[in-house]
Amino acid sequence: MDIVINNTAKVEIDKLLENSDKKYIRIITRCITMHEDAKFDLILDEKREGDRLFEVDGYNIIIESNFADQIASMIISYGGLMSRDSFSIHADFGFYEY
């Protein structure tokens, strides 16, 4: 899987890691409701059995194996028009082949 972390997100992740004893960044899904689609988020966490580790630009990204196997690529960003003060994670599940 290809994971890209944009520079603004790196700055914000560095701030989180600086104030934490955790060294792993876990990608999680938030619950789907009747009014919203699934959203991805990140938290600082410890590695567990069943996690896959991805080392990206010096960051340790962990994703539960079954979930990671479904993702073709991921972009982690921070800020922007739709998420001014939060992380935004876009995942491509590779469902469509051209």
66-97 pLDDT tens trace = 889 988 999 999 987 666 788 989 888 876 55
> With contact defined as beta carbons under 8 Å apart, do 85 and 13 qualify?
no
> With contact defined as beta carbons under 8 Å apart, do 53 and 60 qualify?
yes
- Poorest-confidence range of 24-33, 41-50, 71-80? 24-33
Residue span of the structural domain in which 88 resides: 2-92
Query: Does residue 97 form part of some domain?
Result: no
Query: Does residue 74 form part of some domain?
Result: yes
DSSP state of 31: P
Query: Does residue 6 form part of some domain?
Result: yes
Where residue 10 sits, what CATH number does that domain have?
A: 2.60.300.12
What is the value of pTM for the model shown? 0.83
Query: Does residue 98 form part of some domain?
Result: no
Query: Does residue 32 form part of some domain?
Result: yes
Tell me the per-residue pLDDT of 49-63, one tens digit each, with 9 for 90 and over. 999 999 999 999 999
Number of domains in the chain: 1
The span from the CA of 85 to the CA of 7, in Å, is 15
Query: Does residue 40 form part of some domain?
Result: yes
